[in-house]
Amino acid sequence: MSSDPGRGTVSRPTKGGLPFSPAAERPARRVRSAHAALAAHGEPWVWLTGGSLALAIVMIVGLLAFITVRGAATFWPAPLELVTLADGRRVLGEVTDREIVRGDLAEGASPSTRRLVRTANFEITGRHFEWFDDHAIASVERPAWATAVERLEGGRFHGFPVKLRHGDTIVAEGAAEVWAAYEREHPAARRRFREALAIDKHDRGALQRRLRQARLTVVQAGLDRGEDSPAAIAAREAERRTIAEVERATVALDEMTSTLRDGNAGWLVDFETADGAEASLPLDGIVHAWQPNRLGTFGKLGVYGARWGEFLADDPREANSAGGVFPAIWGTVAMTLIMALLVAPFGVLAALYLREYASRGPITSAVRIAINNLAGVPSIVYGAFGLGFFCYGLGSGIDDMFFRAGLVADGQPTFGTGGLLWASLTLALLTLPVVIVATEEALAAVPNSMREGSYACGAGKWQTIRHIVLPRALPGIMTGLILAMARGAGEVAPLMLVGVKKLALDLPIDGTFPFVHPEREFMHLAYLIYDVGFQSPNAQAAQPMVFTITFLLVTIIALLNITAIWLRARLRRRYVAQQF
């Protein structure tokens, strides 16, 4: 429709055309008054429509630009400014916002400006941000050795390095030496820290799972065969052995972690804050430290890249307001892919049935309208359905049949609560109408002459569909599927009901057998936006993080959309060539 080549020339405004120009040769012709001619152009109304369009464009472009700028800027090392106030107080921080304060107009006060400084050092000052009136500021400078420290706990720290200590020995003193020593020692300390953390998380987690598995086996045997059956007794025996093994393994792990942690113990970096207060930070508690005022563009880029890397690859810290979002990315991708795997065959089947097999009639068109409508049913309704039908209905049924032990042992449902499988199914149901509609349109776009040609060559119906219709419709089907994935990746309301968790570090797909854990709850980027943005205890400090997550999510969805467009174009080229 939009590609109609003839339309543009017609719709192009043709003002000052023949009807209203003084036409000397044709005096008899009735010509409208200039006023009427002007009114006929409806210029003011055209401007209103144009204004609306401009507003819509400004809205979308502005929104995307805003998200991009705020989201991408989070990790850029902003300069640290040492602000000296008129009353002698000194504060070191990043200026994050400036605004004009309007005084009371009635009193005629002149507007003044003020700036929002991220002061950090929450445990000392009790706040993350502070507003300063510009006229109360005596001086602003950018000291070279001002250091921003991203800590494991307690948020950001701003200060000047003074000493690097190992136990009682002072390894380095003075900003430059400390920094050199820090850069030498920090990677090793971090490595040790990460190793210990990995042991805690993976190895101990595996032991815990073994214990629970043993316990469940005991309960299951008791339920199936009776408490006194040989199977139950054997299971109890096995549990005792497992407990002993786990205890031994725990001791070994304790040894490993304490060796690693001992290696880090005693390494301290002493900082001096702008106010002159002293603070000692453990070396392995420093995630990143940088001196933005010393860094050149490439240095800043390095810090920027490192922080992005941490964001993409690490687990979240501090109630999701710091650290990385890897589990959420993983959960989003896993859920979206499983959803696509579920929705593709069923959507295509339904569309094939509707378009190729069902007899044309009022019932088929009613079904078609109903499916079109279901695409417009609010997602939260699907969420309620998913919770009631999948989790409480199917899930509880599965638990009763196969996972009684979990219910009996610790009252924990296995499938009877939200999880990856149910979330994927719910979203598959939600996006199914989209895929059906898209597939049907793609099938309808295959010219009937091609089908007839195929039949004429003696092909059967399935052969025709398989070799003629489906390949031609594939671009459309893929587009519908990718658009469905884009929608699924950004949907959060139904997921809140069927399995998305605030924090779930156990990935739903991981290296432990059976690799895919459809019953596990998972994290999701879109839910993280809601959670960190609205449930976070310190919303202001978490806001940059939310913008970054938003930026990431919007990028993923935009990429999916662009992939859909690209794929459509590419496949269309490929299959158009096969046309007669």
Partner 1 sequence: MPDSPSTSTPARTLTGRSRRRTTRPWVRATDAIARGLITVGGIGTIVAVLLVGAFLLAVALPLFRSASSRMERVGPLPTAEAVRLACLGSDDSGLLTWFATRGDTGGIAGDLQVVRIADGAVLHARPAAALGLEGATTIRVTGAAGTGAVGYGDGTFRIGRIGLDSRFIPPDAVPEAAAGLAPGSAVTADGETIIRGMTGHHAAVSLVCELGTPSRLDADPIVDIDVASRPDGTIVAALDATGRVRVESVTARRNLLTDEVVTTSVGSSLAPHDGKRPSFVRVSERGDQLFVVADDGSARRFVIRNVESPEPMEGFRVGGDAETAARVTAVERLFGGASLAVGDEAGVVHVLFASRGGTALAADGLAMREARTFAGRRGSAEAGIRVIAASPRSRLFAVADAEGGIRLLHSTTGEEVLQPERAHDVAAERLCIAPRENLLLAAGAGTLAAWRIDAGYPEISGRTLLGRVWYENYTGPVHAWETTGHESFESKFGLVPLVFGTIKATLYTMLFATPVAILAAIYASQFMHPRWRARIKPTIELMAGLPSVVLGFIAGMVFAPLVERGVVPVVTGLFVVPAVLLAGAHLWQLLPAGWRPRLAPWRLPVIGLVALPLGCLAATAVAPHVERLLFDGDFRAWLDGRGGSGFGGWVVALLPLSAVAAAAVVGRLVNPWLRRITPVAVTGGGGWTTRTAALASLVVFLGGVAVTIGLAAAGGVFLDALRLDARGGLFGTYVQRNALIVGLGMSFAVIPLIFTIADDALTSVPDHLRSASLGAGATPWQTAIRVIVPAAASGIFSAVMIGLGRAVGETMIVLMAAGNTPIIDWNVFTGFQTLSAAIATELPEAARGSAHYRVLFLAALALFGMTFVVNTLAEIVRQRFRRRAHEL
Phi, psi (rounded to 5 degrees) for 491: -80, 135
SS3 317: strand
Q: Is residue 433 part of the contact set for partner 1 (CB under 8 A)?
A: yes
Kindly state the number of chain residues that form the binding site for partner 1, as judged by CB under 8 A: 132
Q: Is residue 456 part of the contact set for partner 1 (CB under 8 A)?
A: yes
Structure tokens at 250: 């725990």
Buried b vs exposed e over 83-106: b needs ≥16 C-beta within 10 Å? beeeeeeebbbbbeeeeeeeeeee
Which residues, numbered 388-407, are part of the site for partner 1 (CB under 8 A)? Answer: 388-389, 392
Q: What track of x and - describes contact with partner 1 for positions 326 through 355 (by CB under 8 A)?
A: -------------------xxx-xxxxxx-
Closer to partner 1 by Cβ: residue 347 or 508: 347
Per residue, the 3-state secondary structure of 268-282, as one string, reads EEEEECCCCCEEEEE
Q: Considering only residues 160, 179, 382, 422, which one is a binding residue for partner 1 as defined by CB under 8 A?
A: 382
Is residue 155 within 8 A of residue 322, CB to CB? The reply is yes
Q: What track of x and - describes contact with partner 1 for positions 58 through 87 (by CB under 8 A)?
A: xxxx-xx-xx--------------------
Q: Is residue 431 part of the contact set for partner 1 (CB under 8 A)?
A: no
Q: How far is the CB of 79 from partner 1 (least distance, A)?
A: 24
Q: Is residue 465 part of the contact set for partner 1 (CB under 8 A)?
A: yes
Closer to partner 1 by Cβ: residue 92 or 557: 557
Q: Please, what is the end-to-end C-alpha distance for the chain in angstroms? A: 23
Contact region with partner 1 (CB under 8 A), list: 170-178, 189-197, 290-298, 529-537: 529-537
Closer to partner 1 by Cβ: residue 181 or 354: 354
Dihedral sign for Cα atoms in the order 549, 551, 552, 556: positive
Return the bridge partners of 202, or none. Answer: none
Give the Å distances, CA to CA, from 313 to 308, 309, 317, 501, 564: 9, 6, 12, 19, 27
Phi, psi (rounded to 5 degrees) for 288: -140, 150
Q: Is residue 461 part of the contact set for partner 1 (CB under 8 A)?
A: yes
CA–CA distance, 311 with 324 (Å, rounded to integer): 4
CA–CA distance, 36 with 356 (Å, rounded to integer): 57
For the chain, the residue count is 580
Q: Is residue 256 part of the contact set for partner 1 (CB under 8 A)?
A: no
Q: Is residue 170 part of the contact set for partner 1 (CB under 8 A)?
A: no
Closer to partner 1 by Cβ: residue 51 or 447: 51
Q: Considering only residues 358, 444, 470, 567, which one is a binding residue for partner 1 as defined by CB under 8 A?
A: 358
Contact region with partner 1 (CB under 8 A), list: 153-161, 163-171, 191-199, 462-470: 462-470
Buried b vs exposed e over 519-530: b needs ≥16 C-beta within 10 Å? bbbbbbbbbbbb
Q: Is residue 129 part of the contact set for partner 1 (CB under 8 A)?
A: no
Closer to partner 1 by Cβ: residue 258 or 373: 373
CA dihedral 496, 499, 503, 506 (to 10 degrees): -160
Q: Is residue 108 part of the contact set for partner 1 (CB under 8 A)?
A: no
Q: How far is the CB of 552 from partner 1 (least distance, A)?
A: 11
Q: How far is CA 252 from the centre of its chain?
A: 38
Closer to partner 1 by Cβ: residue 392 or 575: 392
Q: Is residue 445 part of the contact set for partner 1 (CB under 8 A)?
A: no
Closer to partner 1 by Cβ: residue 170 or 554: 554
Q: Is residue 490 part of the contact set for partner 1 (CB under 8 A)?
A: yes
Q: Considering only residues 32, 142, 241, 467, which one is a binding residue for partner 1 as defined by CB under 8 A?
A: 32
Q: How far is the CB of 401 from partner 1 (least distance, A)?
A: 18
Q: How far is CA 123 from the centre of its chain?
A: 30
Q: Is residue 41 part of the contact set for partner 1 (CB under 8 A)?
A: yes
Q: Is residue 22 part of the contact set for partner 1 (CB under 8 A)?
A: yes
Phi, psi (rounded to 5 degrees) for 32: -75, 160
Give the CA count within 13 Å in the CB-facing half-sphere of 470. 13
Which of 93, 85, 99 is closest to 120 using CA atoms?
93
Residue type, 365: S
Is residue 162 within 8 A of residue 271, CB to CB? The reply is yes
Q: Considering only residues 88, 105, 297, 411, which one is a binding residue for partner 1 as defined by CB under 8 A?
A: 105
Contact region with partner 1 (CB under 8 A), list: 11-19, 117-125, 188-196, 405-413: 11-19
Closer to partner 1 by Cβ: residue 83 or 354: 354
Q: How far is the CB of 392 from partner 1 (least distance, A)?
A: 5
Residue type, 444: A
Q: Considering only residues 108, 298, 357, 537, which one is a binding residue for partner 1 as defined by CB under 8 A?
A: 357
